Amino acid sequence: MKADITLDLRGTACPMNWVKAKLQLEEMSPGQVLEVLLDDGEPIRNVPRSARTEGHRILEVKPEGEGFRLLIQRGEESDEPLATSE
């Protein structure tokens, strides 16, 4: 599957790798695919879990070199309004 956007986060520490992936996903349209290149260990354990929690779909997790290639399909827009602090 071809990604719409690639984000190379190898060498980026947790939780910044998820923060950067999340910000990119927020700029994408529902159904678009984000390719994320991640290091082994904590990043590949945490980023897919966080993406699923946020309503995105993990299409592929594949070893690539010393890291991993992760394909995330952007989830649908939420109908819930964002919480505001007063």
Query: Which pair of structure tokens corresponds to residue 40?
Result: 């082994």
> Is residue 14 among the annotated active site residues?
yes
Partners of 35 in beta bridges: 6, 71
Residue 79 has pLDDT above 50, yes or no: no
Average pLDDT over residues 15-38: 96
What is the structure's pLDDT at 82? 43
Q: Name every residue whose Cβ is closer than 8 Å to that of residue 37 and which is 6 or more positions away in sequence.
A: 6, 7, 8, 9, 10, 64, 67, 68, 69, 70
Among candidate residues 14, 58, 61, 71, the one labeled active-site is 14
Domains of the chain: 5-73 (3.30.110.40)
Average pLDDT over every residue of 63-82: 81
